[in-house]
Every structure is written in C-alpha cells, then in structure tokens.
Structure 1
Amino acid sequence: MNLTHQLNVSLSEQRVGSLVAADFRYAHVFSQFGIDFCCGGGRTLASACDKANVELSSVESELTKLDLQGQKEDALNLLPVSELIDYIEAKHHSYVREKAPLLIEYSQKMVRAHGEHHAEIKPFAGWIRALVDDLTPHLMKEEQILFPAIRTMAAGEVVNGCFGHIGNPINAMQHEHDDAGKILEKLHELTNDFQPPEHACTTWRVCYATLAEFEADLKQHIHLENNILFPKALALAN
C-alpha cells in the first residue's frame, strides 16, 4: 500500500506501525520527529504526533516527499565535470549524512533490546559504526581536497595541491571505496543478506531495510565516482 492510497483514507488516521510496514522509509521520518513507531506503533499518526508534540502537517509533508522521484542517473556521464560533482554531493553525500545517523540509532536500539540474546547483534552494530566512521572523513576529503582540485582542472586552471598528480588522491579514494565494500560484505554475512529473522521487531526490520537501501545508494555513488567522475578527471590531467 503506497502513500497515495493511504492519503485517500486519511493519513492522519493510519496507525504508525502500519505505515512503517507499508514502507520502511516512513520510519526514518518518524525517528526524525521523535515518533515511536515500534512500541507505539498502534497509535494513529495524529495521536503519535500529539504525543511527540510535533505538527501533524509537518510530518505529513515529509512523508509525502518520499513519493517524489529524484533525477534519473542514466545520462549523468553527459554532465560537465562540475555539474556531476554537484550532483554527487547533493544526492549521494547528503544521503550518507542523512541516513548514517539513523543506522547508528537503529543498531544501538537493537543492541539494547536484543543484544544479550542474539550474538550477531553486537558485532552487527560494531560494523555499522565502522562503516559510518569510514565514510564520514571520506566525504570530507573529497569535498575539501579532491573535488575542488577537479573543479579547478575543469576550469582550465593549475591545481596547487600538496598531493602531486590528481591520480594520487583518486587512488586513495578508490581504496577507501574498497574498504567500505569489505565492511558491507561483513554486514551481509552477519545479517543473512539483510534478511531479518521471523521474530525480529519493527526496529530490527527497519534497520535491515535501511541498510539495504543505504548499500544500493552507496554502490551507485561509488559507480559514479569510480567509473565516470574519476576517469574524466584523469583525462583532464593528460
């Protein structure tokens, strides 16, 4: 059941647990507004907003945005380098910064609720933290060092960096991409490819679904850099 159908039967009267069951992404919005969708999943959205002391209209607005489709990525190789960087930062870097804290939050809730009885949960939460700790400085290095250098080259100007040839920071970023991939492999092993067990609670299921979405976005993110942006940058250096 999608949001459009739910709106036809009054979104405010839908139970928050049912909304999350229909689309796990709604859980992200509820978390941002402090709405309990797990133990409080039986409340209607209107009631849950009252309890969390947030405006129903604000929550409904954010839920509606989830149905909007972003820019298609099939023709991004045709974009000028600077516009491609803009796209990567606006879509993929912003996505990591938005969703990484939610993954930490969900995994820590799993540890508190189930960590003593399910051996895989504590290492799972540890690898989630490792992934976020790897990606956070990675984004900063791209935004503050590599991407400005590529923009300068694309403008026909000389890059005055301490890293030598542009291929050096590119190689470093590609190695870090590989490191993120290895962490995701560990997470696949621990989670049976992000498949929650039958007894999993709502937070557990949302966490795995979020991680699957996070991985899909990260793979597209890395593809755009490794296979489109970086080759274009290296061509500018020749």
Structure 2
Amino acid sequence: MSHAEQSLGLLARTIPGATRVFHAHHLDFCCGGKQTLQTAADKAGLNATQIAAQLDALQDGADELVDWTEADTPDLVAHILARYHARHREQLPELIRLARRVEHVHGDRPECPLGLADHLETMQQELESHMQKEETVLFPMYLRGMGHPSLPPVQMMRMEHDHHGEELAKLEALTNGITLPRGACNTWRALYLGLQTLREDLMAHIHLENNVLFERG
C-alpha cells in the first residue's frame, strides 16, 4: 500500500519525522488522523504524491551498512555531521512542539509526561552547544590529522557525552520508558516514536565518536 493510501495517523505513528512534514503542509494528523494522505491532500489542494515522496525520503535516510571503523576520517566526520548533527537539529524542535501539545491537551492525565517539553528544550540547548564545539574545534583537529584520545577537548566531549546519557535517562523516567499509555492520541504516538528514534540516534552518535573517531590519533 502506498503512503498516499495510508491514514495520516498511521503514517505519523510509523515514520519518524512524518509529523514535521504534515505540520509544514498544515495537515491535521491528530483529529483528522483517520483520513488517508490522498484524501487530506485533495481537500487541502495539495499534491499527495509530492508529500508521499517526502515521507519516502525520511525512510530512505536510514543508515547504509557501512563499517565506519574502516572509513577514512573525512568520510566518518562527514557522516556524523549529516546523519547525526543535522538530524538532531531537525528532530528536537518538532519533538518539543509535539510534547507541548500533549502536555497542553492531556495534562490532566496521570500518565502525561509533564515537564517533558522543558526537558527537551534543555537537551536541545546542550546538544547544540556540544555540536558547535565539535564542529569548530574538535572535528577540524581530526581532519588535519592532529586528533588523539588524550587531548583535553576529547576528554571534555566524552564527559559531555556522559551527561547526554544522563539526560536520556531522565527522558525515559518522564515517559515511563517511552511507553505509550492506553488510548494515546496520534500526537502522543508520534511524540513517543520520535523520542525512541532520538534515543537510538543519540546513542549511535555517541558510540561513533567515543569508540571510533576519538580513538584515532
């Protein structure tokens, strides 16, 4: 079944980042989540095929099977920048928006993750600061062949990675292990799908830096 024939709600629940696409096109995947993408696009005067192609691109962004331990440093750095730094900058604003919506609409439910949006904003600020330091200081050192595991900037980035891990643990505590409650709406489902993807991406990101890039020198 093509994406155009699937419901907005199903697409939002199963494709990380789909809610960002729907939001950009002003498509209601929550209350109007039972509509197919084709029907919703037709009503809004939009091209369902083009929107479906954007969803395809999200899925095609999955990692290729590459052994990054054997990759040249410039290729590894380029991969980290494109696959993780750019992805986090896309993920977090949308997750914050979804979390604010869930807290606003469902704040009276005991299982609502109150404080999640604020926590995600903190994570966004900390990650942005961290990534900028890597992009302006650390990665250029490795690209010039001057990187080494014992360098103070490397040790600092490892410490910040440990802190990111602690922030992920807080995120899981706020969301009961990113476990959906019964009767969760499409927005809530999309939020938790996105959180699971963020967790997986951030862990893979830290692994590539700590255990592959930072060990070079």
Q: What TM-score does the superposition give when structure 1 sets the normalisation length?
A: 0.81
2-side partners of 1:211 and 1:92: how far apart?
A: 14
2:129 corresponds to 1:129: no
Identify the residue that residue 215 of structure 2 maps to in structure 1.
231
Q: How far did 1:120 drift?
A: 4.8
Structure 1 56/119 Cα, relative in aligned 2: closer, same or farther at 3 Å? Answer: closer
**Letter of the 2:63 counterpart:** G
Identify the residue that residue 108 of structure 1 maps to in structure 2.
100
2-side partners of 1:72 and 1:18: how far apart?
A: 28
Q: How far did 1:52 drift?
A: 4.6
- 3-state SS of paired residue (1:231): coil
The equivalent position to 2:181 in structure 1, one of 197, 211, 222, is: 197
Q: Percent identity?
A: 33
Q: Any conservation in 2 of the 1:114–1:121 contact (CA below 8 Å)? A: no
- 3-state SS of paired residue (2:91): helix
Q: What TM-score does the superposition give when structure 2 sets the normalisation length?
A: 0.88
CA deviation string 1:170-216 (max 9, x = no partner):
11111111111111111111211100110321111111111111111
Q: Which structure has the larger Rg?
A: 1
2-side partners of 1:217 and 1:110: how far apart?
A: 23
Structure 1 228/18 Cα, relative in aligned 2: closer, same or farther at 3 Å? Answer: closer
Q: Matched residue pairs, number?
A: 214
2-side partners of 1:79 and 1:139: how far apart?
A: 21
Structure 2 residue runs of 5 or longer lacking an equivalent are none
Identify the residue that residue 19 of structure 1 maps to in structure 2.
11
Structure 1 59/117 Cα, relative in aligned 2: closer, same or farther at 3 Å? Answer: same
The equivalent position to 1:169 in structure 2, one of 145, 153, 157, is: 153
The equivalent position to 2:202 in structure 1, one of 207, 218, 235, is: 218
Q: How far did 1:33 drift?
A: 2.8
CA deviation string 1:90-129 (max 9, x = no partner):
1111111111111111101112111244475222222112
1-side partners of 2:8 and 2:77: how far apart?
A: 37
Query: RCO higher in 1 or 2 (8 Å CA, sep ≥ 6)?
Result: 2
Structure 1 residue runs of 5 or longer lacking an equivalent are 1-5, 160-164
Q: How far did 1:153 drift?
A: 2.5
Q: How far did 1:70 drift?
A: 2.9
The equivalent position to 1:86 in structure 2, one of 74, 78, 84, is: 78
2:175 corresponds to 1:183: no
1-side partners of 2:180 and 2:6: how far apart?
A: 25
Structure 1 147/53 Cα, relative in aligned 2: closer, same or farther at 3 Å? Answer: farther
Identify the residue that residue 207 of structure 1 maps to in structure 2.
191
2-side partners of 1:227 and 1:187: how far apart?
A: 24
- 3-state SS of paired residue (1:121): coil
Structure 1 90/109 Cα, relative in aligned 2: closer, same or farther at 3 Å? Answer: same
- 3-state SS of paired residue (2:28): coil
1-side partners of 2:10 and 2:211: how far apart?
A: 40
